[in-house]
Structure 1
Amino acid sequence: MESHSEPYDQLFKIVLIGDTGVGKTCIVSRYIKGVFPKKNSATIGVEFAAKNLRLKSGLRVKAQIWDTAGQERYLAITTAHYRRAIGALVVYDICKRESFLNCEKWINDMKSQADPEITIMLVGNKVDSATEETRQVQKQEAAEYASKNKVLFCETSALSDINVNGAFEQLLNTIDDVKIHNPQNNNRIGIGLKGVDAEKLEEEDNGCSC
């Protein structure tokens, strides 16, 4: 892992979407800072974080991560940030079935507002609190849904630090494998931005009102 101030070869814009309360902000905090936030308040609009890392291929990547609010009243704000996203984590709470059922809407919204070929991972969060009585979404059901919709899948716990790094690393390495090293995708907008294009995207996004 590298400091976010280090140079990088490519900028990957990643967004986290899903219902409110599923743990998106906690996942970002665990990945970026390595800690679970002491105070867990609802995200207002969109929050931004970044992390530099080296992928399996050796590519140095800056992951620009956007944590979006799940409330309906912020939808216009959050969907505006889907633009030029190269990957997305669609998060649900495995103990709240409604949040899983709503993933279809989130995925469709993402594909309609961003690149239809965006790399998406379905993430079942809060495995730490799941028991036979409390779990409402079985892992096999979610895995089959992900396979049917051609998206990646994993389960995590931001609280217990289970598979959070693995989720991001799998998503980022998949983007690298499928998009960056596929010659047919090299000229697509939003795929592997670098140099001036990456700096321009950062300026545009950082200048937004969230």
Structure 2
Amino acid sequence: MEAASCSYQFRIALLGDAAVGKTSLLRRYVAGAPRAEEPELEQEPTVGVEFYSRALQLPGLRVKLQLWDTAGQERFRSITRSFYRNMVGVLLVFDVTNRDSFEHIQDWHQEVISTQDPDKVIFLLVGHKSDLSTRCVSTQEAKELAASLGMAFMETSAKNNSNVDLAFDTITTAIQQALQQGNIKLEEGWGGVRLLHRTPNPRSSSRKQHSGPCQC
């Protein structure tokens, strides 16, 4: 199998209250560094849904990630809910310095599983802004909530780039494993996972060789 082939596309959404830092996390992950005019990755509130993408190399597999940044304000919920059923991965994000954003995580989780088969989506709980000392949510209680909801937990900081790549790598690897094990399957009409490139049969590979990456 060609390591450079973009075999699958995974759709992943970030959900959580307004101002927990979902856009900052995505921009840090996609761009790698804040722009000069935004040294602390402060962003305008997301209106509706915004879209980012990044190609990622996994062991033996290259995937394209469609990353969806959703607005946390209540008035945009009718827009963002329509995207849940076509997601295979969801990062549930709260601000460790904002108790309310943590207490609302179960509501966000329930919104997804009320519109999406819970067996078709991988969740990761993310405690953001871990660089701040004025925290209102302990690591232990966040781990306990994640365990009760059947998901992993990770703390991140876009400001100092702590665990940002690791968070996205973790959920992407979990999706890949679920796909390989048959727990998540390709389905016509479902956009959570799409096949972009079908690996050629090794017996026929001598007739046509591909070099270089696919257009992800």
Query: How many corresponding residue pairs?
Result: 186
- C-alpha RMSD of the superposition: 1.7
- Structure of higher RCO (CA pairs closer than 8 Å, 6+ residues apart): 2
Q: 1:9-64, CA deviations, whole angstroms, 9 ceiling, x for partnerless residues?
A: 001000000000000000000000012351511000000000001113x1110000
Distance in 2, Cα, partners of 1:184 & 1:98: 33
What's the CA shift for 1:195? 3.4
Residues 76-124 of structure 1: per-residue CA shift (max 9 Å, x gap): 0111111210000010000011000000000110111223221000000
Aligned to 1:81: 83
- Partners of 1:8 and 1:101 lie apart in 2 by 38
Q: Which runs of 4+ in 1 moved over 6 A?
A: none
Aligned-partner residue type, residue 170 of structure 1? T
Q: 1:121 aligns with which of 107, 119, 124?
A: 124
Scaled by the length of structure 1, what TM-score is found? 0.84
Distance 1:184 1:109 in 2: 22
Partners of 1:145 and 1:111 lie apart in 2 by: 16
Partner of 1:31: 29
Per the alignment, in what secondary structure is the counterpart of residue 90 of structure 2?
Answer: strand
Instruction: Say if 1:184 and 1:72 are closer, same or farther in 2 by CA, change over 3 A.
Output: closer
Asked if the contact 2:11–2:65 (Cα under 8 Å) also holds between the matched residues in 1, the reply is: yes
SS of 1:81 mapped into structure 2: helix
Relative to the length of structure 2, the TM-score reads: 0.81
Matched, 1:194 2:195: yes
User: Unaligned stretches of 5+ in structure 1?
Assistant: 1-5, 197-210
Instruction: Look up the match of 1:149.
Output: 149
